[in-house]
A and B are shown apart, each in its own frame.
Chain A
Amino acid sequence: MNEVGLTPFLLLSAFLFACGAVCVASKRNAIGILMGVELILNAANVNLVAFARFNTSFRLEGQVFALMVVVLAAAEAAVALAIILNFYNNHATVDVDEAKNLKG
């Protein structure tokens, strides 16, 4: 079985990141933006795990970081959803373009 190198993992990660960034930048739906953010975080996770696997000076750091990011992502999703719900209560929409009350 051929050994898969580091590069495909990094490519996958870059692809995921690009998807997430485009999703965040183009969606008007707040839920969609949240999903984009999750993609970005998971791109980072792939990177972390891949580097930990292919660099012998690391032992479990990458995996631990990845777990950490997963937990943080869950927490962040909870907070973000709460914000979105509140926003929906006030504006009857989840369109982030409507959220410009603080614009100078």
Chain B
Amino acid sequence: MFDWFQAVPGRLYVVGALLPLAAFALLLVAGAVRALCRPFREHGGFASRLYWALGGDTPLKTGAYLATAFMAGSAVLGIVGLANFLADPTTGEQHAARWSERVDWIRLGPLDSASPPVWAEQRARFTSIPKPALALELGYKIDHLTAVVFTMVTVIGTLIFVFSLGYMKDETQKTVEEPLPPTPSPKKGGGERGEAAPSEAASASELAHSPPPFLGEGVGGRGSSRRGRYGRFFLYLSLFSFSMLNLVIADNLFQVFVSWELVGVCSFFLIGFYYERPSASRAANKAFIVNRVGDAGFLIGILIAWTYLGTLNFDEMNRRVRSPERDSHTRLDNANQFVRVSPSDEKDRYGTPQYELPKQGEGSHLALFPIVKPGHFDGIQPGGHKDGYASIPAVATYTTYGVIPYWLFVVMGVGIFFGCMGKSAQVPLQTWLPDAMEGPTPVSALIHAATMVAAGVYLVGRCFPLFAPEVLLTIAYIGAITLFISATIALVQTDIKRVLAYSTCSQLGFMMLALGIGGWVAGLLHLITHAFFKALLFLCSGSVIHGCHHEQDLRKMGGLKAKMPITAFTMLVGVLAISGAPLLSGWYSKDMILSSALGYVSVHPEHVLLFALPIVTAGMTAYYMFRLWFLAFTGTPRDHHIHDHVHESPLVMTLPLIVLAVLSIGVAWGWPVWDAEASALGHVLHKAEPVSLYKAESDNAKLDFAAEKKAEHHLHLYAGAAALGMAAFGAYMAFGVFYQKTPARDSLYATGPAWYRFLLGKWYFDEAYDAAIVKPTLSLSRGAASADKRPPEPESRRFDWFTLDGILNALGQAAGVLGAVLRGAQTGLVRTYVLALALTAALLLGMLAVLAK
């Protein structure tokens, strides 16, 4: 066993990813067996005994412990794998053999083929180009990014599992009472337990929190009771973790897509965990549907990549679009630039169009290069000349390898990014994330920190070498817009989880911005550090909600610090980290992002917004996070009934908080600690950075980030100081408004000025979508439905009554008439039957005799 891992240590990751799946399968089978045995529970015998052994009517806790243990095992494997990976001295082929494997999953076609399907013409001419094969692969590839993210996901996942053991205690009971929704209308507050805001704040709360009223009436009006769903919760969590881990270790886009959809469906299950509540099921639907919109774009990107590049493997795709080049060891590097070519005037002797490097400007097509792999393209010399891959000839024809229209290449990048926008909740697809707060709080932590929203950023980082400069600029601007809009909304929210939800959107915007401007390490470092402190913040808010008996409204809290000291202190750590307080993890990554932005802007002054928006938002981040903390933990209690019953959470919940607080402080430390550029984690991630970023002497200045990097280094101190100043200013503002005195009523309720109500209305994105998309769709379907209605009176002949219904009814009636006619043939007399038989036989024989002539 040990030797096996020693030989191919990458398999650690496969085992680590499969452990949660095993837990999922075990829980699923156990649950199914129990459900099947349930009818026999009173009857005695084997089935009955099995039923009671599997927990009977009350949910069994063993499954949850099992899932947690499996997840912990996965975390151990992740840590061991990371240590192994960092200590691995091998390079090149040997390294690849140890840390990546590929197997065919589905293959139709020859084994040794990777030529894109669009090369049909070339294939007809050069028989050495193999036929295209439809080969969907499964594989894993571990690099520094994967190793770090895997460890992050498993560690945070384990802590969230442990936290859930305590938080979901209610679900272990035989029956769980669903509280009576206070208002039967679907317009009600997004409370964790379905509790709406009290009447005094109803207007504000409804404006802020009510989901759009377009999905019909809820089942509100009566409470209900149901069986606890402890096991089911952990079942979903396990599947969720497996999906994310599989996504992280995947080495090709298709596997990512499969996991992507699994993540999506798991989020649907978990957001709608309390599906009896109309708001929860609506939020689940919304998350799922909005993600489908993004996935449509993603699928378009995948299909373009498949059609033109002929492979979905990340490395191979990169090699296709980047010009090959020798490094100093004469090994091939998947490096340089996108080579754009334009159609040449001359055609070759077969009449196929040729492409050449444009004399000036940029070509309309992108050259594709062969995948360098033994066995491929044996008959053809890459580059069209004999001496290998040393350089790109000044004038060459690229039809040998194929071209892709440049606009299609941009569409591919934008398509892939569109999927990431859906998953990572970027404007304009961000609306699902705040509604996803309907799920239990540990789920919010898992979605917001470790799994779902991280997937989008991770994929952008993975596909980075495939993005054209135009796509990167789009990513940067989308990120900048998102981080600003979400932060402004978070300024005024009063639901503790919604503040955090918008803060997540905003921080994801930071990551996207960083990736878009070439700050690859900065963006992904922020992904990791943010995962830790956002998980911490969410679990703290879960602890608060648990302690306050499922009250989420900040306006009813206050002064909780004395009653929940551990939660208050750990949450303060999280708040400091997200605000970018020096020496905490958030400081390193945010500093890096802002100095990247400043470096980029100093080279491209026309994109000044890309620095202005994040620096302002850094101040807003500190403001809204401290506002949250002050409102919840300091000052005088605003609702004494709640305050009297508050209690600190049990150890099983506070322990993960403490561990996460420690990690939030120290996860990005390096030596020296006070040097913001010396983050050890950053250095690890730096090793996985796509090499294309630093080709200083390339011709394509648009994609060359060397100048920005240089400027970034020089300007680092200014960016850091500015960020720190803004954050301190924001924190001070929050201190002034919310700490020293009881906050003014205007600052908490929707009686403020118009801009305040605008922010509280979340920039009216939901209303805009409602009016632009949902309403027209619904009215269209209502129109279609009304055509289908049976007429109340026969004389009011509707369209459908005589077309579709009419045709079907006519068919049915025809069958009846035919039956009535044929019925007369059955006389019940043997003689007539024999006669008919004889006559028919005579007729047939006669026909045969005539026809056979």
Q: Is A104 an interface residue (CB 8 A)?
A: yes
Partner of A103, one of B826, B834, B835, B838: B826
Mask for B818-844, Cβ within 8 A of A = 1, else 0?
A: 000001001111110011001000000
- In angstroms, how far is the closest chain A Cβ from the Cβ of B457? 72
Interface size class of B (residues with CB under 8 A): 10 to 19
Residue pair B828, A33 in contact (C-beta under 8 Å): no
Q: Is A79 an interface residue (CB 8 A)?
A: no
- Determine the chain B residues whose CB is within 8 A of the CB of A33 once the complex forms: 830
Mask for A74-99, Cβ within 8 A of B = 1, else 0?
A: 00000000000000000000001101
- Determine the chain B residues whose CB is within 8 A of the CB of A103 once the complex forms: 826-828
- In angstroms, how far is the closest chain A Cβ from the Cβ of B511? 76
- In angstroms, how far is the closest chain B Cβ from the Cβ of A97? 6
Give B134-174 interface residues, CB cut-off 8 Å to A: none
CA distance A21 to B836 in the complex (A): 12
Residue pair A100, B829 in contact (C-beta under 8 Å): yes
Q: How many residues of A contact B (CB 8 A)?
A: 13
Q: Is A25 an interface residue (CB 8 A)?
A: yes
> Helix, strand, loop or mixed for chain B's interface?
helix
- Determine the chain B residues whose CB is within 8 A of the CB of A24 once the complex forms: 830-831, 834
CA distance A77 to B835 in the complex (A): 22
Residue pair A25, B828 in contact (C-beta under 8 Å): no
- Determine the chain A residues whose CB is within 8 A of the CB of B830 once the complex forms: 24, 33, 96-97, 99
CA distance A96 to B835 in the complex (A): 15
- Determine the chain A residues whose CB is within 8 A of the CB of B834 once the complex forms: 21, 24-25
Residue pair B828, A99 in contact (C-beta under 8 Å): yes
What is the count of residue pairs linking A and B with beta-carbon distances less than 8 angstroms? 29
Residue pair A104, B823 in contact (C-beta under 8 Å): yes
CA distance A96 to B838 in the complex (A): 19
- Determine the chain B residues whose CB is within 8 A of the CB of A102 once the complex forms: 828
CA distance A51 to B831 in the complex (A): 31
- In angstroms, how far is the closest chain A Cβ from the Cβ of B134? 56
- In angstroms, how far is the closest chain B Cβ from the Cβ of A18? 10
- Determine the chain A residues whose CB is within 8 A of the CB of B831 once the complex forms: 24-26, 28, 96
- In angstroms, how far is the closest chain A Cβ from the Cβ of B318? 75
CA distance A26 to B831 in the complex (A): 6
Across the interface, name the chain B residue whose C-beta is closest to A24: B834
- Determine the chain A residues whose CB is within 8 A of the CB of B826 once the complex forms: 103-104
Give A1-50 interface residues, CB cut-off 8 Å to B: 21, 24-26, 28, 33
Residue pair B838, A21 in contact (C-beta under 8 Å): yes
Across the interface, name the chain A residue whose C-beta is closest to B829: A97
Partner of B838, one of A25, A99, A100, A104: A25
Across the interface, name the chain B residue whose C-beta is closest to A102: B828
- Determine the chain B residues whose CB is within 8 A of the CB of A26 once the complex forms: 831
CA distance A24 to B831 in the complex (A): 7
- Determine the chain A residues whose CB is within 8 A of the CB of B838 once the complex forms: 21, 25
CA distance A97 to B830 in the complex (A): 7
- In angstroms, how far is the closest chain A Cβ from the Cβ of B311? 66
Across the interface, name the chain B residue whose C-beta is closest to A36: B834
CA distance A67 to B99 in the complex (A): 79
- Determine the chain B residues whose CB is within 8 A of the CB of A100 once the complex forms: 827-829
Give B794-849 interface residues, CB cut-off 8 Å to A: 823, 826-831, 834-835, 838
- In angstroms, how far is the closest chain B Cβ from the Cβ of A33? 7
Across the interface, name the chain A residue whose C-beta is closest to B838: A21
- In angstroms, how far is the closest chain B Cβ from the Cβ of A35? 14
- Determine the chain A residues whose CB is within 8 A of the CB of B828 once the complex forms: 97, 99-100, 102-103
- In angstroms, how far is the closest chain B Cβ from the Cβ of A88? 16
- In angstroms, how far is the closest chain A Cβ from the Cβ of B830? 5
CA distance A26 to B829 in the complex (A): 11
Q: Which of A21, A25, A26, A33 has the most CB of B within 10 A?
A: A25
CA distance A96 to B829 in the complex (A): 7
Across the interface, name the chain A residue whose C-beta is closest to B835: A25
CA distance A33 to B828 in the complex (A): 16
CA distance A72 to B723 in the complex (A): 104
- In angstroms, how far is the closest chain A Cβ from the Cβ of B138? 61
Q: Which of A28, A99, A104 has the most CB of B within 10 A?
A: A104
CA distance A28 to B828 in the complex (A): 13
- Determine the chain A residues whose CB is within 8 A of the CB of B823 once the complex forms: 104
CA distance A33 to B831 in the complex (A): 10
Give A55-73 interface residues, CB cut-off 8 Å to B: none
CA distance A21 to B833 in the complex (A): 12
Q: Which of B827, B828, B829 has the most CB of A within 10 A?
A: B828
CA distance A70 to B834 in the complex (A): 22
Given A25-B831, A99-B828, A100-B828, 13 extra CB contacts under 8 A: A21-B834, A21-B838, A24-B830, A24-B831, A24-B834, A25-B834, A25-B835, A26-B831, A97-B828, A103-B826, A103-B828, A104-B823, A104-B826
Residues of B within 8 A of A (CB): 823, 826-831, 834-835, 838
- Give me 15 A-to-B residue pairs in the complex whose CB atoms sit less than 8 angstroms apart, sorted by A's number: A21-B834, A21-B838, A24-B831, A24-B834, A25-B831, A25-B834, A25-B835, A26-B831, A33-B830, A97-B830, A99-B830, A100-B828, A102-B828, A103-B826, A104-B826
Residues of A within 8 A of B (CB): 21, 24-26, 28, 33, 96-97, 99-100, 102-104
> Nearest 6 CB-CB pairs, A to B?
A100-B828, A103-B828, A25-B834, A96-B830, A24-B834, A25-B831
